[in-house]
């Protein structure tokens, strides 16, 4: 992948304090991009920035809660004023709520929808508008058209497949896939690419930090440890996902399933949705 494509670009990555966000921040920074590494945990974002700076890269940490509309508006305005309009935005911040629908309370729904869906909406709306305005306000040269930008929304293989034990998570990730498809159609005229990335199980802390509804604190902790062990046993590092994200930006791919289960669930959703309905009855590994 040519480094020149990212050299000098400004990227914004949410959930940059760990997992896919940290790996993507480092992958972009290594290719010459300046990265705004945002996370609700500022200490984690700062650790990502330190790692990047040790490689000679330019990464600036920020604290922001992607579920907070007001905070996101202030964050987008600060990025533009302190830096400029970003060329790449990776809406990565996400959480997991596991457990049956009937045990999932309104607060659980508000929390996961706030981060997994509203966070993507806020990032895409605010930075997408900045990108589109940049294209509209600059004179266009036929031999050198204005660049628009690229938005990456991190969904999940769970967005392709129903699950009796992950209704909230699957719902938000399926919504991110459809939102990305709609945005891609709308923003194409402004030369803004949009990609939905759908990883299967990979080495992040999502299971370790998940909420398991309908269980006591002690039972939740056991489930977190079990889920974390299952994901680690998969041995698929976030750096591999980051490489696919960078490739998707370079090639302007619309939808990127990642690893075996990502490709399998995507294929089944297209050719045999009935088989996914049967699989939905099987307890999920996160549980």
pLDDT for 153-186, tens place per residue? 999 999 999 999 999 999 999 999 999 999 999 9
CB 5 within 8 A of CB 30: no
**pLDDT score at 12:** 98
Q: What is the pLDDT of residues 100-158, one digit of tens each?
A: 999 999 999 999 999 999 999 999 999 999 999 999 988 765 545 557 999 999 999 99
Total domains in the fold of the chain: 1
| For residue 188, pLDDT beyond 50 | yes
- Residue 285 maps to a domain: no
170 touches 269 (CB < 8 A): no
pLDDT tens, position by position, 189-233: 999 999 999 999 999 999 999 999 999 999 999 999 999 999 988
- Is pLDDT at 263 greater than 60 in this prediction? yes
Is the predicted pLDDT of residue 3 greater than 50, yes or no? Answer: no
Q: Is the pLDDT of residue 286 over 50?
A: no
pLDDT computed for residue 278 by the predictor:
94
> Is 144 within the bounds of a domain?
no
224 found inside a domain = yes
Answer whether residue 55 is part of any domain. Answer: yes
Rounded-to-integer distance, Cα 172 and Cα 55, Å:
35
Split at pLDDT 50, 70, 90, the class of 287 is very low
The residues assigned a catalytic role are 169
| pLDDT on residue 139 | 72
Q: Can you give the pLDDT at residue 141? A: 57
Contact call for residues 148 and 132 (beta carbons, < 8 A): yes
205 located within any domain = yes
Whether the per-residue pLDDT at 2 is higher than 90: the answer is no
What's the 3-state SS for the chain? Answer: CCHHHCCCCEEEEECCCCHHHHHHHHHHHHCCCEEEEEECCHHHHHHHHHHHHHCCCCEEEEECCCCCHHHHHHHHHHHHHHCCCCCEEEECCCCCEECCHHHCCHHHHHHHHHHHHHHHHHHHHHHHHHHHHHHHHCCCECCECCCCEEEEEECCHHHCCCCCCCHHHHHHHHHHHHHHHHHHHHHHHHCEEEEEEEECCCCCCCCCCCEECCCCHHHHHHHHHHHHHHHHHHCCCHHHHHHHHHHHHHHCCCEEEEHHHHHHHHHHHHHCHHHHHHHCCCCCCCC
d(CA 217, CA 77): 40
158 inside domain:
yes
Report yes or no on 143 lying in a domain: no
Indicate the Cα dihedral angle 71, 77, 79, 84, nearest 10°: 160
Looking at residue 55, its pLDDT comes to 85
* pLDDT score recorded for residue 224: 94
For residue 232, what are the domain limits? Answer: 3-137+149-279
Q: What is the pLDDT of residue 4?
A: 55
Taking the C-alpha atoms of residue 262 and residue 275, their distance in angstroms, rounded to an integer, is 15
pLDDT band at residue 5 under the 50/70/90 scheme: confident
The overall average pLDDT reported for the chain is 94
Question: In sequence order, what are the residues at sequence separation of 6 or more whose Cβ sits closer than 8 angstroms to the Cβ of residue 43?
Answer: 17
Residue 129 lies in a domain: yes
Determine the Cα–Cα distance for residues 122 and 136; give it in Å rounded to an integer: 21
CATH of residue 159? 3.40.50.720
């Amino acid at each position: 992948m040519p480094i020149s494509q990212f050299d000098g670009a400004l990227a914004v990555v949410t959930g940059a304090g760990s997992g896919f966000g940290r790996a993507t921040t480092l992958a972009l920074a290594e290719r010459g991009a300046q990265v705004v590494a945002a996370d609700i945990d500022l200490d984690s974002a700062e650790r990502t920035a330190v790692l990047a700076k040790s490689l000679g890269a330019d990464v600036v940490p920020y604290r922001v809660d992607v579920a907070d509309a007001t905070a996101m508006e202030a964050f987008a305005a600060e990025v533009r004023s302190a830096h400029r309009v970003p060329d790449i935005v990776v809406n990565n911040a996400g959480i997991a709520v596991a457990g049956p629908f009937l045990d999932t309370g309104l607060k659980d729904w508000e929390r996961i929808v706030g981060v997994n869906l509203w966070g993507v909406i806020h990032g895409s709306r605010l930075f997408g508008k900045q990108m589109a305005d940049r294209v509209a306000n600059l004179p266009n040269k036929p031999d050198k058209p204005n660049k628009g930008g690229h938005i990456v929304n991190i969904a999940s293989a769970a967005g392709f497949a129903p699950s009796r034990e992950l209704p909230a998570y699957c719902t938000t990730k399926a919504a991110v896939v459809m939102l990305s498809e709609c945005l891609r159609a709308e923003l194409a005229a402004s030369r803004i690419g949009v990609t939905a990335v759908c990883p299967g199980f990979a080495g992040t802390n999502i299971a370790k930090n998940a909420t398991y509804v309908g269980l006591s604190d002690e039972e939740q902790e056991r489930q977190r440890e079990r889920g974390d062990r299952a994901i680690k046993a998969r041995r698929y590092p976030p750096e591999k996902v980051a490489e696919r994200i960078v490739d998707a930006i370079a090639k302007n791919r619309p939808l990127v399933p990642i690893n075996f289960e990502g490709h399998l669930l995507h294929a089944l959703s297209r050719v045999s949705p009935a088989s996914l309905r049967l699989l939905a009855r099987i307890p999920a590994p996160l549980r």
